[in-house]
């Protein structure tokens, strides 16, 4: 037994260890993960390596790093690995960061959200800014003013954002403020007037869009939020507007207001938007909301509001306040369900998008089935279909589609794996392989004898 144990330890000691190395960025805040030939020339680094191509830095453990340098030409490439201590790495990164700030500041910009920022700017400019400017400045909605305003709405942002940090969270909150700010701005005149001039409303919509876009960008940049936090704040801002208005209507707050109903609607919508942003900000600080989690919560919000409405319509409820009350309660239940899913699972943005498509597709299938049922029930020449059955079947189809997609995705993703497990695998082929390759000092063909995995 002692001899066997000695042999196992001996062969295990001769086999090379398998380790994962984590890539480390050269610049601050995770920027510049690779220094290529062009960037190295700008900052005057790695000049001692002829035919330099690129460099990457990897962390082996807390005190050891590896600088991997690729040199050579298109026909031949060589890789040099240089081991560095933690102090040597720190000095090198400080030197490179200083050179980047001085000689190549653009390389430190995070512009992963710039494309989305420009896309939203273009859509808003073509759909609203151009139209609003032409109606405000001219009597007959001049095409020239529209075209100039719409074009400026793209040219100015693309020039302005060239040297600007525009991360994905910053782009998300900027786009939210730019689009929702139109609605918020147009509602502001209704707080002080029952019938404001439409030009004033359009101008306030433009001002609200500009102001909230700027504030959203500053908020995301100052707080350093991630894309999940920005998405959570955005969707809850929308939730607040819908829930505040529907709750006020279901409680009868708009009754007997006569000419002041638009003012009350504006006040409740703006108050709901502010409340939703506050709730979203509080939830986003819990750090378990990803961008996909926010999208999945929005799916459940929509389904939760639509399903009770279709159920009540199928039983022919007459009071409209009951509809809004049921939709409000269902929407809140959807938010609660989305929060529970976000705590347990980590959905990606792609998964939430596919879940949305699955919900919509299921709704269409359900509506089609309901329509076929109505066709078989109604054989008159002038068919009078019952829309409540079609609506109910579409809601059930949407619920089925969303439920199946969530069940499919939750099989492989789980945030809360609290079971601690240790698995050890023994591979006897490692002994045979060690004997066959005993003369190979590099150990390139070595096979591990013992492999372990800890899950926690």
Residue at which a domain ends, from 89, 108, 127: 108
Residue at which a domain ends, from 85, 108, 131: 108
Mean pLDDT, rounded, of the chain = 82
Q: Does any domain span residue 36?
A: yes
pLDDT (average), residues 81-99: 87
In which band, very low, low, confident or very high, does the pLDDT at 5 lie, cut at 50, 70 and 90? very low
Q: Is 21 exposed, middle or buried (0-12, 13-18, 19+ CB in 10 A)?
A: middle
Number of domains within the chain: 2
The Cβ of residue 452 has, within 10 Å, a number of other Cβ atoms equal to: 9
**Distances, alpha carbon 295 to alpha carbons 131, 234, 328, 436, in Å:** 31, 10, 19, 55
- DSSP secondary structure letters along 169-217: HHHHHHHHHHHHHHHHHHHGGGGT-SS--HHHHHHHHHHHHHHHHHHHH
**291-314 vs 387-409: helix axis angle to the nearest 10?**
150
Domain that holds residue 442: 421-455
Q: Which residue, 434, 432, 428, is CA-closest to 449?
A: 428
Q: Is the pLDDT of residue 214 over 90?
A: yes
Q: What pLDDT score was predicted for residue 436?
A: 52
Tell me how many degrees the CA angle 350-235-400 measures, rounded to the nearest 5.
55
Measured in whole angstroms, the distance separating CA 399 from the mean position of its chain's CA atoms is 23
Q: Is the pLDDT of residue 34 over 60?
A: yes
Q: What pLDDT score was predicted for residue 177?
A: 94
Q: Which residues contact 373 (CB under 8 A, 6 or more apart)?
A: 389, 393
In which band, very low, low, confident or very high, does the pLDDT at 270 lie, cut at 50, 70 and 90? very high
Q: Pick 303 or 50 by higher pLDDT.
A: 303
Q: Does any domain span residue 24?
A: yes
Q: Pick 424 or 241 by higher pLDDT.
A: 241
Of 24-38, 243-257, 299-313, which one has max mean pLDDT? 299-313
Q: What pLDDT score was predicted for residue 8?
A: 43
Q: Does any domain span residue 154?
A: no
Q: What pLDDT score was predicted for residue 209?
A: 95
Q: Does any domain span residue 384?
A: no
Q: What percent of the chain has pLDDT over 70?
A: 84
Q: What pLDDT score was predicted for residue 187?
A: 94
Q: Does any domain span residue 91?
A: yes
Range of weakest confidence among 114-128, 294-308, 420-434: 420-434
Q: Does any domain span residue 381?
A: no
Q: Does any domain span residue 449?
A: yes
pTM: 0.72
Q: Model confidence over 389-407: pLDDT tens digits? A: 888 999 999 999 999 998 8
Cβ–Cβ < 8 Å for 136, 193: no
Q: What pLDDT score was predicted for residue 44?
A: 86
Q: Which residues contact 71 (CB under 8 A, 6 or more apart)?
A: 49, 50, 51, 52, 53, 77, 78, 79, 80
Q: What pLDDT score was predicted for residue 445?
A: 54
Residue at which a domain ends, from 63, 88, 108: 108
Q: Does any domain span residue 88?
A: yes
363: left (phi over 0), alpha (psi -120 to 50) or beta: alpha
Q: Which residue, 352, 345, 357, 354, is CA-closest to 410?
A: 345
Q: Which residues contact 187 (CB under 8 A, 6 or more apart)?
A: 266, 269, 270
């Amino acid at each position: 037994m002692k001899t066997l144990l000695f042999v196992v330890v001996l062969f295990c000691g001769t086999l090379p260890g398998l380790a994962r190395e984590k890539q480390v960025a050269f610049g601050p805040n995770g920027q510049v993960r690779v220094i290529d030939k062009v960037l190295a020339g700008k900052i005057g680094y790695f000049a001692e390596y002829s035919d330099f191509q690129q460099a990457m830095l990897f962390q082996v453990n807390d005190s050891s790093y590896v600088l991997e340098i690729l040199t050579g030409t298109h026909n031949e490439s060589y890789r040099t690995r240089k081991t560095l201590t933690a102090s040597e790495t720190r000095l090198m990164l400080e030197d490179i960061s200083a050179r980047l700030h001085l000689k190549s500041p653009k390389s430190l910009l995070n512009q992963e959200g710039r494309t989305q920022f420009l896309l939203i700017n273009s859509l808003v400019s073509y759909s609203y800014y151009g139209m609003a400017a032409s109606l405000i400045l001219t009597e007959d909605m001049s095409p020239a003013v529209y075209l100039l305003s719409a074009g400026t709405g793209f040219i100015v942002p693309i020039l302005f954002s060239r040297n600007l940090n525009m991360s994905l969270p910053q782009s998300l909150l900027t786009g939210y403020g730019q689009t929702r700010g139109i609605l918020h701005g147009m509602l502001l005149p209704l707080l002080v007037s029952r019938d404001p001039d439409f030009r004033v409303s359009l101008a306030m919509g433009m001002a609200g869009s500009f102001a909230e876009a700027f504030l959203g960008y500053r908020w995301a940049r100052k707080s350093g939020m991630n894309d999940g936090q920005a998405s959570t704040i955005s969707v809850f801002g929308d939730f607040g507007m819908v829930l505040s208005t529907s709750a006020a209507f279901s409680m009868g707050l708009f009754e007997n207001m006569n000419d002041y109903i638009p003012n009350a609607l504006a006040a409740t919508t703006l108050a709901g938007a502010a409340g939703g942003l506050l709730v979203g900000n509080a939830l986003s600080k819990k750090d378990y909301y990803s961008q996909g989690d926010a999208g999945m919560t929005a799916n459940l919000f929509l389904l939760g509001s639509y399903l009770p409405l279709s159920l009540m319509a199928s039983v022919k409820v007459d009071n409209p306040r009951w509809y809004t009350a049921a939709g409000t309660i269902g929407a809140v239940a959807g938010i609660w369900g989305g929060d529970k899913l976000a705590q347990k699972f980590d959905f990606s943005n792609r998964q939430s998008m596919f879940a949305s498509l699955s919900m919509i597709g299921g709704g269409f299938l359900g509506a089609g089935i309901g329509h076929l049922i109505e066709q078989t029930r109604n054989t008159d020449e002038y068919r009078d279909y019952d829309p409540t059955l079609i609506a109910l079947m579409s809601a059930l189809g949407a619920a089925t589609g969303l439920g199946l997609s969530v069940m499919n995705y939750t099989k492989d993703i789980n945030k809360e794996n609290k079971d601690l497990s240790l698995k050890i695998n023994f591979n006897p082929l490692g002994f045979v392989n060690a004997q066959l390759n005993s003369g190979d000092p590099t150990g390139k063909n070595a096979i591990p004898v013992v492999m372990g995995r800890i899950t926690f």
